[in-house]
Structure 1
Amino acid sequence: MTYSSTTTNPEAASAASNASRKLRPRSAMSRTMFPYLLVGPAVAYLLVITLYPGIFAIYQSLFVVRFVSWTWAGLDNYVRIIQDREFWAALGNTAIIGGISLTLQTIIAMTVAFFCYRDPLVRGWRIIFLMPMLFMPSAVAFIWKLAFNDGRVISDLLMSAGIVSSNVDWLASVWLARLTLIVADVWQWTPFLFIIFVGALQGQDEEIEEAARLDGASWSSIFWNISLPMMRPVIVVAVTLRGIDITTMFTNVYIMTQGTPGGATETMSFFIYRQGFRMFNFGYASAASVLMLIFTVFVAQTVVKRAFRSGKS
């Protein structure tokens, strides 16, 4: 007995029909808008957490704000800040502490990167140099506060070495207090510059170095005359980013020094915090943050523009 297989599966027929049908091409507008739809949520998130607070700070800086009481002040907050000695002292402290810290970080990171980027023995252990950057800033600040002040670890080591004869009060001297902040910042954030410099050195063409060595150039000569000039754009961008981050130094100051002695370690971030959350001058603090933002952007833009312009000439 034979059976005729004339019956068909409706689902299989529908699938075959859909497979055989040609897909209609997307319109030009849909092709144009599709990438924007993909990045739209991320852009919206960034605008919410960056643009809105900035606009709100500018708006708030035009008022004298005491909790729910808002009184129009216009540009009076900015005039008061320009005449405020504490503001300029905090700005100077930020420049001094940040400048010294950034210089030391750049020198140390470049030196370590120079010895590590080609050495096969050190290359596998470079992750160790990144360990300080993985700690929370508050934990690092507490560790160094314990080492310098509360636990007297540094003082005991100095006395054991015969360098000092008694316990050192690190917060009693202006420069000693600044030194504690510099040491903590250098210890934690030098790896940030180190990993960038190592990547820049490894990304250079090895044939150029080989040609220079065949001509009798030493490693130091190759580094100063070939590698370092080629790294100039990377160095400028990395140092600028680290410098911008240093201007927001707050955690170390809050935990380690509280701005003492006599405001010598009060940075701009701590000054804004003190005005806003201790003295409740929210409009005044907002005006200070706006001025600091303008100053930071101006300095960063000037440095980058001059560096790249001189690199082209």
Structure 2
Amino acid sequence: MVKKQILKQVVYRIKYKKKKYIHFWFLLPCFVVVCFLIIFPLLYSLHLSFFSWNLTTAYLGKKFVGLENFRSIFLEDARFWRTLENTLIMVSLAVGMEFGAGLGLALLLIRQIAGRKLFSVLFLIPMMVVPVVVGMVWRLLYHTSYGLVNFFLRLCRISSGVDWLGDASAAIFAIIIADIWQWTPLMFLILLGGLLSLPKEPYEAAQLDGASATQIFRYVTVPLLKSIMAIALLLRTIDAFKMFDKIWMLTQGGPGLATENTPLYIYYKAFRYFDMGYATALSYILLLIVSVIATFLLRSLFVSTE
């Protein structure tokens, strides 16, 4: 009798262990795919960043140089610092203005005004357009002779015309304007969803206390919406650091280096000069910069939710 009970317990434990770990077997195919498509390329590219490997002389093989690629980037590559400056300018101005415009529109359309649903739907259209197409459209709009932007500037007698894509001082703002046009709807959508999810009780209490609209926004809306704001800024900032399509279609980094950002510089290094080791080192430096900024935004998100 005792042996039968022991045998039953052993059988039960074996079956329980099988059931306990069975979900790992279901996850295994996904894990293999993730390893193959994400983890392996990351590790291989990190390995490649410590080598000097030019595809024009690929028959010579890879030469291990250690941290030489990183040293050259930080101490000798003036072009990297220029492209990083352009990247930070584009990201800060574009994301900042998209956030401000998106928040303003969300606060406006949360009110019961006529046609707000129709406007909300129409306002999302730019976000659905492929970035390459956005670049092509804005290239036509910025055309010096027959572009609509210069046409309205002349019509309003503001200017006789601006060489938006040929003037070094104007080209970077031309790209930022195109990016704002496309991605402000994303900020609007996230922030509008956040505003609609806020509880009504704090607003009712603030109104009973006689708080003004500015005070309600500052002391009620912003604290309650802080986590949503952090998420919106995090998503858009990470995406803005990867901006490539619009720059390529509008200026290809010109005139000179006026609009060349770090992703475009990495592209040139990898696929124009074929210096794969140097290009991967640049990629990891950009990854580190984005990770630091993302960590800061995530910390602000967690602090706001505590």
- TM-score by structure 1 length? 0.85
| Structure 2 residue 47 is matched with structure 1 residue 54 | no
User: 1:160-309, aligned counterparts within 5 Å?
Assistant: 160-165=155-160, 167-306=161-300, 308-309=302-303
Deviation of 1:36 (Å): 3.5
Q: Do 1:63 and 1:73's aligned partners in 2 also have CA atoms closer than 8 Å?
A: yes
Distance 1:26 1:115 in 2: 62
| Structure 2 residue 91 is matched with structure 1 residue 103 | no
Distance 1:199 1:103, change over 3 A: same
Partner SS state of residue 231, structure 1: helix
| Structure 2 residue 97 is matched with structure 1 residue 116 | no
* Identity level (%): 30
Q: Do 2:127 and 2:182's aligned partners in 1 also have CA atoms closer than 8 Å?
A: yes
Distance 1:260 1:127, change over 3 A: same
Question: Which stretches in structure 1 are left out of the alignment for 5+ residues?
Answer: 1-23
Q: Do 1:98 and 1:243's aligned partners in 2 also have CA atoms closer than 8 Å?
A: yes
Q: Do 1:116 and 1:122's aligned partners in 2 also have CA atoms closer than 8 Å?
A: no
Q: Do 1:260 and 1:266's aligned partners in 2 also have CA atoms closer than 8 Å?
A: yes
Tell me which amino acid in the other structure corresponds to 1:103.
G
Deviation of 1:197 (Å): 0.6
Please point out which of 8, 11, 15 is paired with 1:27.
15
What is the aligned partner in structure 2 of residue 74 from structure 1? 66
Question: Which stretches in structure 2 are left out of the alignment for 5+ residues?
Answer: 1-11
CA RMSD of aligned residues (A): 2.2
Greater Cα radius of gyration, structure 1 or 2: 1
| Structure 2 residue 130 is matched with structure 1 residue 136 | yes
Q: Do 1:197 and 1:235's aligned partners in 2 also have CA atoms closer than 8 Å?
A: yes
Please list the CA deviations of residues 133-181 of structure 1 after superposition, one character each: whole Å capped at 9, or x if unmatched. Answer: 111110011111111137422111111111112x321133333101111
Please list the CA deviations of residues 25-77 of structure 1 after superposition, one character each: whole Å capped at 9, or x if unmatched. Answer: 99333433344344444443333332222112111111111223322222111
Please point out which of 83, 92, 100 is paired with 2:85.
92
Deviation of 1:97 (Å): 1.0
Distance 1:190 1:252 in 2: 15
Distance 1:177 1:278 in 2: 23
The farther-off stretch of 291-300 and 210-219 is 210-219
Distance 1:254 1:104 in 2: 22
Please list the CA deviations of residues 227-273 of structure 1 after superposition, one character each: whole Å capped at 9, or x if unmatched. Answer: 11111111112201211111111111111011112201111100100
Distance 1:303 1:141 in 2: 29
Distance 1:228 1:306 in 2: 13
Deviation of 1:120 (Å): 5.7
What is the aligned partner in structure 2 of residue 9 from structure 1? none
Partner SS state of residue 52, structure 2: strand
The farther-off stretch of 40-49 and 172-181 is 40-49
Distance 1:137 1:61 in 2: 29
What is the aligned partner in structure 2 of residue 17 from structure 1? none
Distance 1:221 1:179, change over 3 A: same
Q: Give the count of matched residue pairs.
A: 288
The farther-off stretch of 138-147 and 215-224 is 215-224
- TM-score by structure 2 length? 0.87
Distance 1:203 1:27, change over 3 A: farther
Distance 1:246 1:169 in 2: 25
Distance 2:194 2:19 in 1: 37
Distance 1:115 1:287, change over 3 A: same
Distance 1:143 1:311, change over 3 A: same
Please point out which of 145, 153, 159 is paired with 1:158.
153
